[in-house]
Amino acid sequence: MLKPVALALLLASLLTSVATAQTPAASAAAAAPAAAPAAPVSPAKKALVAKVLLLQQPGIEAMARTMVEQPALQLMQQAGQALQQRVPAEQREAVGREIQADLRKYVDETTPLVRDRAIKLAPTTIGAILEQKMTEEELKQVVQILESPANKKFQSLSGDMQRAIAEKLVADTQPLVQPKLQAVQQSVGKRLGLTPNAAASAPGK
């Protein structure tokens, strides 16, 4: 099972990701004046919006998976630091495998929940914007673009492109990010009372 510190940080990271995504929209909604009643949407336009959402579903699912995986990846980086600092060398490999298994279980169990919710919310969020902001003719053009062979090929390469830049970005920025990440981790841990005071005074191995 995840240690209390790891679980707290993981939940905090996930909740922060969701709150960050929701806060601007909520603030805008509160500040916006009352809108006039929207004009009825024709069945043809609703069908086009539904088609766009269906074609975009892989992207929606990918976004949901990213929201789940991001805090797990951050926690994995933090766990790597803790392994070096607090776990005897002969135990690090075994403990590392256990942590990876915990995080994989979290991702495997949580991704379907967030993915299904994202798909369910799409018609009333993305779909509502498309109905309000785009004409039927524009939606027809969007469908044609999304269904084009060139776009399908481009989308099929998106995973490879994201992995390529992510791997290079992590390697290039790790020396810059790692000290800052460690500092904020210690600060947050102290504020939450999760960082043992003895860790700072433990003798080096």
Residue 32 or residue 175, greater confidence = 175
Examine residue 197 and state whether it is found in any structural domain, yes or no: no
Residue 176 or residue 148, greater confidence = 148
Examine residue 113 and state whether it is found in any structural domain, yes or no: yes
Model confidence band, residue 89 (pLDDT cutoffs 50, 70, 90): confident
Model confidence band, residue 19 (pLDDT cutoffs 50, 70, 90): very low
Among residues of the chain, what percentage have pLDDT more than 90?
A: 32
Examine residue 131 and state whether it is found in any structural domain, yes or no: yes
Average pLDDT value over all residues in the chain: 78
What DSSP element (H or E) covers 37? none
Is the predicted pLDDT of residue 132 greater than 90, yes or no? yes
| Whether the Cβ atoms of residue 85 and residue 199 lie closer than 8 Å to each other | yes
Examine residue 60 and state whether it is found in any structural domain, yes or no: yes
Examine residue 170 and state whether it is found in any structural domain, yes or no: no
Residue 37: the pLDDT is 61
Q: Distance between CA 38 and CA 59 in Å, rounded?
A: 28
Domain that holds residue 47: 4-9+42-156
Measured CA to CA in angstroms, residue 86 lies from 155, 179, 192 at distances of 43, 17, 20
Is the predicted pLDDT of residue 35 greater than 70, yes or no? no
Residue 34: the pLDDT is 56
Which residue's entry shows tokens 């993305």? 126
- The number of distinct structural domains making up the chain is 1
Judged on CB neighbours under 10 Å (0-12, 13-18, 19+), 14 is buried
**Ranges 9-13, 30-34, 44-48, 193-197: which has the least confidence:** 9-13
Residue 32: the pLDDT is 53
Is the predicted pLDDT of residue 180 greater than 90, yes or no? no
- Mean pLDDT calculated for residue range 162-186: 79
Examine residue 193 and state whether it is found in any structural domain, yes or no: no
Entry pTM? 0.61
Which residues lie closer than 8 Å to 139 by C-beta, 6 or more apart? 45, 48, 49, 52, 130
